[in-house]
Amino acid sequence: RAADWQLDQPAWSGRLRITAKGSTAFIKLEDKSSGELFAQAPVEQFPGIAVEGVTDSSRYFVIRIEDGNGRRAFIGVGFVDRGDAFDFNVALQDHFKWVRQQRELARQAQDLEQGPKLDLGFKEGQTIKLNIANMKKKEGGTGSTRPRPAGPGGLSLLPPPPGGKSSSGERPAPLSTPAQLPGTPITDSLLSWPQPTAASAADVWGDFAKASG
- For residue range 6-28, list pLDDT tens digits in order: 877 888 899 999 999 988 999 99
**Range of lowest pLDDT (31-45, 74-88, 114-128):** 114-128
- Is the residue at 88 inside a domain? yes
Range(s) of the domain holding residue 90? 2-114
- Is the residue at 55 inside a domain? yes
SS3 12: coil
Pick from 12, 3, 11, 10: which is nearest to 57 by CA?
3
- Count how many domains the chain has: 1
- Is the residue at 155 inside a domain? no
- Is the residue at 204 inside a domain? no
More confident position, 21 or 143 = 21
Give the span between the Cα atoms of 109 and 191, in whole angstroms: 91
- Is the residue at 133 inside a domain? no
- Is the residue at 97 inside a domain? yes
Mean pLDDT of the chain: 75
Average pLDDT of span 132-150: 57
User: What is residue 190's DSSP assignment?
Assistant: G
- Is the residue at 70 inside a domain? yes
Give the span between the Cα atoms of 91 and 103, in whole angstroms: 19
Distances in Å between the alpha carbon of 75 and those of 35, 61, 89? 20, 8, 17
- Is the residue at 13 inside a domain? yes
pTM of the model: 0.50
Pick from 152, 41, 18, 163: which is nearest to 94 by CA?
18
Task: Give the CATH number of the domain where residue 25 resides.
Answer: 2.30.29.30
> Which residues touch 39 (CB under 8 Å, ≥6 apart)?
28, 29, 65, 67, 75
- For residue range 68-99, list pLDDT tens digits in order: 888 999 999 999 889 999 999 999 999 999 99
For every residue of 106-163, DSSP letters joined together read HHHHHHHHHSPPP--SPPTT-------HHHHHHHHHHHS--PPPB-GGGPBPPPPPGG
Pick from 26, 110, 19, 29: which is nearest to 75 by CA?
29
